[in-house]
Amino acid sequence: MNISFFQELLQSITERGRQLLESREPAPGNAQALAQACHKLISSHGEASGVALAQQVLCAYRDCPQDQQKAFFDTLLKDFAPPHDALAQACQRYLDEPSSANTTALFEASEPPRQELFRRLNQAPGGTAELIAMRRLLLQELKANPELAAVDHDLQHLLASWFNRGFLVLRRIDWSTPASILEKIIRYEAVHAIKDWDDLRSRLQPSDRRCFAFFHPALADEPLIFVEVALTRAMPGAIAEILETKSPEGKPADASADEPDTAVFYSISNCQDGLRGISFGNFLIKQVVEELAREIPGLRQFVTLSPVPGFRRWLDSLGEDPQLGATAAELLKALKPDAAPPPRTEQPMLALAAEYFLHARNGAGFPLDPVARFHLGNGARLERLNWRGDLSASGLRQAAGLMVNYRYELRQIEKNHEAYANQGVVTASPEVRKLATLSAKTKR
């Protein structure tokens, strides 16, 4: 079908957003004046000129010094909370008669007025981006001022609803993507840093590389999350071969000309601090799997090549552990922080790594490793442990060079996810499970 008309729809949103950023005139602001304007905005008075008023509030907020912005958060907490009397009354009524109508009335009375305020602020051109920036600061402030959690709760509640997966758009990022987007890919890459534009090109332009990002219509020039993919023959065990800079034609001189059978997700980065806690990665990986399967019918497996950010810290923590302590101590003695692990460490390290993934748990009963929690929670399976997978400085420092592959098999993910979510089961390949047995043997 002819999609042009629909494509153009976004123009207005994007352009209206720019107006806010570009054309406004700075004006000094303070939390008190802001609060007044906000009260006007959610009152009936504000209805007729709501968009303009919302724009003024957001501009005034941006122009406030940061201490006033933080003071404004306090105002949001206290002045835009549900009015106590009305809420208490609604509670009482519900307790007296828990009818459907009283339940609805209670829900309405308990919704903090700041939610309506945020919704009205969002009416302004560029409002969504401003609210995300506001939450970014709020999250920083939260540590010093934990009571603001109630404000954050409301903001996150709304943003999660607005950034519902049904409103996200998957876009391929390639060498013909606008430079203004590409520079953000360079900036936001959080796993394997992109050195410069040539490095970027070598991740986008070769015919065996892909990059996909989620976007939201109201935030059209900002990726929300992106994933980098390499198409290979067989599952790779080391990141260096993936990141190696390649000729624009896409293949290092000695590359085999074989058709790829494996898609490797080797880097996934969240971009917007202000959307923390709203999860996109799960959806992104699954849609990219679908896209790639459609584009390249020869693909047989979809795997990651993932870092193990908590491994070294865990090793260090084993100390006097009765079962693993001795092995760990031996291993740590052999490892140097800035050198590849020596050959004889392979067997004990993989065994300990299997132990780390299969048995080491956090307080909630889930694996210690945050990357493992993400992929296992998505329903992936722990497929292979790769000794000397990442010999970069950070790879050695965090994980003694270890990397792992997780495998996404669409037919299995629901089962895997359920076992993981309900009982904390880590689904792993027989190979990895066998290594864990070795580890167990080692211990005793």
Work out whether 49 is an interface residue with a copy of itself (CB under 8 A).
yes
Burial bucket for residue 178 (CB in 10 Å: 0-12, 13-18, 19+):
exposed
DSSP label at 340? P
Tell me the sheet residues that pair with 269: 226
Work out whether 434 is an interface residue with a copy of itself (CB under 8 A).
no
Q: Which of residues 347-386 bind a copy of itself (CB under 8 A)?
A: 377-379
Candidates 171-179, 261-269, 302-310, 386-394; binding stretch for a copy of itself (CB under 8 A): 171-179
Q: Which of residues 98-137 bind a copy of itself (CB under 8 A)?
A: 98, 100-101, 103-104, 106-107, 110-112, 119, 122-125, 127-128
Nearer to a copy of itself, 34 or 413 (CB): 413
Task: Give the nearest distance from C-beta 34 to a copy of itself in angstroms.
Answer: 19
DSSP label at 259? P
Candidates 166-174, 298-306, 326-334, 398-406; binding stretch for a copy of itself (CB under 8 A): 166-174
Work out whether 170 is an interface residue with a copy of itself (CB under 8 A).
yes
Task: Give the nearest distance from C-beta 310 to a copy of itself in angstroms.
Answer: 23
Q: Which of residues 19-48 bind a copy of itself (CB under 8 A)?
A: 44-45, 47-48
Task: Give the nearest distance from C-beta 403 to a copy of itself in angstroms.
Answer: 24
61 Cβ contact partners less than 8 Å away, ≥ 6 residues apart: 29, 34, 69, 72, 130, 134
Q: Which of 41, 131, 45 is nearest to 80 (CA)?
A: 41
Residues 137, 118: Cα–Cα separation, whole Å: 15
Task: Give the nearest distance from C-beta 168 to a copy of itself in angstroms.
Answer: 8
Nearer to a copy of itself, 95 or 339 (CB): 95
2 Cβ contact partners less than 8 Å away, ≥ 6 residues apart: none
Q: Which of residues 264-303 bind a copy of itself (CB under 8 A)?
A: 282-283, 286
Q: Which of residues 141-160 bind a copy of itself (CB under 8 A)?
A: 147, 149-150, 153, 158
Binder to a copy of itself among 28, 86, 167, 245 (CB under 8 A)? 167
Work out whether 414 is an interface residue with a copy of itself (CB under 8 A).
yes
Residues 254, 17: Cα–Cα separation, whole Å: 48
Residues 13, 178: Cα–Cα separation, whole Å: 18
326-342 CB burial, b ≥16 within 10 A, e <16: ebbeebeeebeeeeebe
Q: Output the CA–CA distances (angstroms, integers) from residue 418 to 143, 156, 303, 423, in the order listed.
A: 33, 26, 20, 8
Nearer to a copy of itself, 149 or 339 (CB): 149
- 28 φ, ψ to 5°? -65, 145
* Residue appearing with tokens 């870092």: 307
Which SS3 state, helix, strand or coil, does residue 48 take? coil
**Residue 424: left if φ>0, alpha if ψ -120 to 50, beta else—which one?**
left
Binder to a copy of itself among 65, 197, 233, 298 (CB under 8 A)? 197
Work out whether 311 is an interface residue with a copy of itself (CB under 8 A).
no
Nearer to a copy of itself, 153 or 361 (CB): 153
Binder to a copy of itself among 39, 417, 433, 443 (CB under 8 A)? 417
